[in-house]
Amino acid sequence: MKHLLSPLDFTVQETEELLDLAHDIRISPDNYSHHCDGKKIATLFYEPSTRTRLSFEAAMMNMGGTCLGFSEAASSSATKGETVADTIRVVSSYADICAIRHPKEGAPRVAADHSTIPIVNAGDGGHQHPTQTLADIMTIRELRGSLNNFTIGICGDLKFGRTVHSLIHALIRYENVRFVLISPRELRVPEYVREDLLVDNGVDFREVEKLEDVIDMLDILYMTRVQKERFFSEDEYIRMKDYYILNKDKLEYAKPDMYVLHPLPRNNEIASDVDNDPRAKYFEQVNNAVYVRQSVILTLLRSAGTL
């Protein structure tokens, strides 16, 4: 039985198959409308979410299944001191698959170690968010036709942004992907990402502070929000929060086919005047996330022998 805790839990080949399935679901959704009849997904969200929780639930419902779960720790027995390990032992009796979001890094790993059903990491602290990454790379593949040979600028909070860490993990496995990491000094990628992933694997990357200096060389610009909830000091957050604002004027300097992605939610880092630019693809990303999550549910249930 497979779990999905990190993008590396699927090989490049398995990832291609998963994205192919997501693409097929996108073009022929009706063919999948009964694949999960009688199946249940538990969504255990100890941290707030709009997209991830609702799209997991929509994904299961699109295939004939049903959902149960909680959207905040306060409405669960975590408030009475129940551990993630005990919670998942219980939930394994109620559902066929579980998506869990938790503020503590590694909590989905603990859940997987005590589960008899597949576990999907729906975001753990500042660590990983693998299904967001699958939606990101599905969107890049649909737009560019390939996950090889492009330059991606990743801009904003690269220290705490778990979508950033998962995306780098995933993309370094493809050919000739060049990274431009755009952040203030204080929000650069953690050392384990820089040294263990980028340097040790001989990846072509550079770290810069100004978006304006590099925007003309990018094929993809992946904007991110400054993660207020992970800052220790309000003052520090306020100093950083509007460091980058992509607007229509700045976009003038980008290539005509440079696509703008963002995992959302956004604050001020993408002005609303960018939304109608044909290069703005963040709402397409949201759409793809449902198909990707349908594909993840099917793939993991098959691996568990439940389908």
- CA separation, residue 5 to residues 13, 238, 304 (Å): 17, 32, 15
101 catalytic residue (yes or no) = yes
* Among the listed residues 52, 128, 227, 294, the single contact to ligand CP using CB under 6 A: 52
Choose the catalytic residue: 3, 35, 53, 129: 129
User: What is the per-residue DSSP string for 26-46?
Assistant: HH-GGGGTTTTTT-EEEEEES
Q: Measure the CA–CA gap between 136 and 203, rounded to whole angstroms.
A: 20
CB atoms within 10 A of CB 198: 19
Residue 132 interacts with ligand CP (CB under 6 A): yes or no: yes
Q: Stretches 49-57, 110-118, 221-229, 293-301: which one binds ligand CP (CB under 6 A)?
A: 49-57
Residue 227 interacts with ligand CP (CB under 6 A): yes or no: no
Residue 49 interacts with ligand CP (CB under 6 A): yes or no: yes
Residue 236 interacts with ligand CP (CB under 6 A): yes or no: no
Q: Are residues 274 and 260 in contact, defined by beta-carbon separation less than 8 angstroms?
A: yes
Q: Stretches 2-10, 29-37, 92-100, 261-269: which one binds ligand CP (CB under 6 A)?
A: 261-269
* Among the listed residues 11, 28, 33, 50, the single contact to ligand CP using CB under 6 A: 50
Choose the catalytic residue: 43, 52, 87, 131: 52
Classify residue 235 by its DSSP letter.
Answer: H
The dihedrals phi and psi of 183, each to the nearest 5 degrees, come to -160, 160
Q: Measure the CA–CA gap between 212 and 194, rounded to whole angstroms.
A: 23
52 catalytic residue (yes or no) = yes
Q: Measure the CA–CA gap between 193 and 31, rounded to whole angstroms.
A: 40
Strand 259-261 relative to strand 220-223: parallel, antiparallel, unpaired? Answer: parallel
Q: Stretches 48-56, 78-86, 146-154, 168-176: which one binds ligand CP (CB under 6 A)?
A: 48-56
Kindly tell me which of 198 and 280 has the beta carbon lying closer to ligand CP.
280
Q: Measure the CA–CA gap between 144 and 140, rounded to whole angstroms.
A: 6
Residue 51 interacts with ligand CP (CB under 6 A): yes or no: yes
129 catalytic residue (yes or no) = yes
Q: Measure the CA–CA gap between 217 and 113, rounded to whole angstroms.
A: 44
Q: Measure the CA–CA gap between 40 and 18, rounded to whole angstroms.
A: 20
Interaction with ligand CP in 106-125: which residues (CB under 6 A)?
123
CB of 256 vs ligand CP, minimal distance in Å: 27
Residue 126 interacts with ligand CP (CB under 6 A): yes or no: no
Q: Measure the CA–CA gap between 154 and 140, rounded to whole angstroms.
A: 13
Choose the catalytic residue: 51, 144, 188, 279: 51
With DSSP H G I counted as helix, E B as strand and the rest as coil, what are the percentages for the chain, rounded to 5? 45, 15, 40
Kindly tell me which of 159 and 194 has the beta carbon lying closer to ligand CP.
159
Kindly tell me which of 48 and 257 has the beta carbon lying closer to ligand CP.
48
* Among the listed residues 42, 137, 263, 296, the single contact to ligand CP using CB under 6 A: 263
224 catalytic residue (yes or no) = no
Residue 265 interacts with ligand CP (CB under 6 A): yes or no: yes
Q: Are residues 179 and 204 in contact, defined by beta-carbon separation less than 8 angstroms?
A: yes
Strand 40-45 relative to strand 97-102: parallel, antiparallel, unpaired? Answer: parallel
Choose the catalytic residue: 3, 35, 53, 101: 101
Kindly tell me which of 101 and 194 has the beta carbon lying closer to ligand CP.
101
109 catalytic residue (yes or no) = no
Instruction: Provide the binding-site residues for ligand CP, judged by CB under 6 A.
Output: 49-52, 123, 129, 132, 263-265
Point out the residues that are catalytic. 51-52, 80, 101, 129
